[in-house]
């Protein structure tokens, strides 16, 4: 079974631009979560989608948004990029049908390394 895939793997943008990251979960998984990882703040939860609906949301500004499609693929968008948005963005999927992804093992993708200049 193929793992979680994320595209692109690396991205360089300039301040003020916007960016869209894509995540395809493990086949059959309907929950997708997004995280931001930086050396200073560690791994921080952005949001979780389940069946095309946002189920949980972390404490990030509205510039960070996401969506999920009917095939469970998810996209994350960051608008008006700031230097501090430079990070590794990780997507994770879980196969849980009953409970929030928070209670179940999450399988992480390889991440997208975003650099904002």
As measured in angstroms, the least distance from the Cβ of 17 to another protein is: 25
Residue located via tokens 């994770």: 92
Closer CB to another protein, 68 or 106, in the complex: 106
CA–CA dist 53, 88 (Å, integer): 24
As measured in angstroms, the least distance from the Cβ of 111 to another protein is: 6
Q: Strand 87-94 to strand 31-38: parallel, antiparallel, or no bridges (unpaired)? A: antiparallel
The overall longest dimension of the chain from CA atoms, in Å, is 42
Closer CB to another protein, 39 or 62, in the complex: 39
Closer CB to another protein, 22 or 56, in the complex: 56
Interface residue list for another protein (CB under 8 A): 33, 35, 41-45, 48, 56, 58, 90, 100, 102-103, 105-106, 108-111
3-state secondary structure of 83: helix
As measured in angstroms, the least distance from the Cβ of 105 to another protein is: 5
What is the four-CA torsion angle of 45, 49, 55, 56, rounded to 10 degrees? 10
């Amino acid at each position: 079974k193929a793992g979680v895939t994320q595209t692109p793997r690396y991205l360089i943008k300039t301040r003020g631009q916007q960016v869209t990251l894509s995540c395809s979960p493990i086949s059959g998984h309907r929950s997708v979560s997004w995280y931001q990882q930086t050396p200073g703040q560690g791994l921080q939860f952005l949001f979780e989608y389940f069946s095309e609906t946002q189920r949980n949301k972390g404490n990030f500004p509205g510039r960070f948004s996401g969506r999920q499609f009917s095939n469970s693929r998810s996209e994350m968008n960051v608008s008006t990029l700031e230097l501090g948005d430079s990070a590794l963005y990780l997507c994770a999927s879980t196969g849980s049908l009953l409970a929030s992804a928070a209670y179940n093992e999450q399988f992480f993708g390889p991440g997208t390394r975003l650099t904002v200049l």
